Structure 1
Amino acid sequence: MLFRLFLLFTLIPLAELWLLLWFSSLTSPTVTFGLVVVTGILGAWLARKQGAQAWKKIQMNLVQGQQPTGVVLDGLMILIAGAFLITPGIMTDMLGFALLIPPVRELLKVHIGEWLRKKAMLQVQSHASFHSSHAGFQDFGSTQSTVKEEDIIDVEFVRKESSETD
């Protein structure tokens, strides 16, 4: 994990710097600087606008008694997009703008939902004391319901009172 973080925080900035220098050699340093500033301002504005819309959807879902799972994931991806867009660079800008496109986020939600299901099932399999359903993961973009009656567990806990003779 530490090695991956090292690569993330060293190779990506180096690649970004190389791309900016390359783009600057094709155009001019002024155009490159302008590109970085404009994408930062435009990205921050778009992320703020879409983030406010996601926040309203979350509140509306909560008022209606629905789980805002998918909308929360949208908000998280919009937040990440904003961070990418205010970071100077060409690759991060492309990723940031891609995350601001709703169909791209929907596709990512499906993949994230599948990844979370697999992680949850692996976690459950490692703890053989209970069986898990997929409840709570339906809103991640999956169109099919995977919860079956045999997947639901009804559990009752009874607290045993201790007596003075114990």
Structure 2
Amino acid sequence: MNRYWVEWSRKFWIWFLIYVLAEISLLIWVGRQFGVLNTLLLLLISAILGIWTVRKQGFSILQKIRDDLSERRIPGNPLLDGLCLILGGFLFVIPGFISDAAGLLLLIPRLRVCMRKKFIIWIQNRISQGNDTFIFFRKRI
């Protein structure tokens, strides 16, 4: 097995364990502060609010994708926005306050624009360094 993959996998599971422990600790702390029923109600409200926001913003992103496709343009930015929106909605549905905070950051349009720019720069740097290659219409990029 590839050594890079093993190292990446090990780091992933360590960070995932830290995240789960932090999420459970925060849920216990909030449950003690506000009560178990209020904590569960807050988690339910955040999931419903996240789903509603994703649905509302999702239609506008779909419209942007349709507009770009009708003008024969590649809808790069709307597709990245849609990806952030789906990931943000998924994080909202996962029970926990840390995931809700991360999901909220992905649902704010201005922050999505900043993250999209950073992601594009990161991809361009990886391609220019030769770390990654992409095959696009049978051409290696």
The normalised TM-score by structure 2 is 0.84
C-alpha spacing 1:54/1:11, structure 2 compared with 1 (3 Å): same
Structure 1 stretches lacking a partner, 5+ long: 127-133, 135-166
Give unmatched runs, 5+ long, in structure 2.
1-7, 134-140
Tell me the C-alpha RMSD between the 2 structures: 1.9
Higher helix share: 2
Structure 1 residue 40 and structure 2 residue 47: aligned?
yes
What do residues 20-75 of structure 1 show as CA deviations (whole Å, max 9, x unaligned)? Answer: 10011111111100011000111011112212221121111011112210110000
Q: How many residue pairs are counted as aligned between the two chains?
A: 127
Q: Choose from 73, 78, 98 the match for 1:71.
A: 78
Name segments (4+ residues, structure 1) moved above 4 Å.
none
Provide the residue aligned with 1:15 in structure 2: 22
Distance apart, 1:122 and its partner CA: 1.2
1:117 corresponds in structure 2 to 124
Percent identity among equivalent residues? 28
Kept in 1, the 8 Å contact 2:126–2:132? The answer is no
Residue 138 of structure 2: aligned partner: none
Equivalences for 1:1-166 in 2 at 5 Å? 1-123=8-130
CA distance in 1, matches of 2:117, 2:58: 20
TM-score (norm 1): 0.72
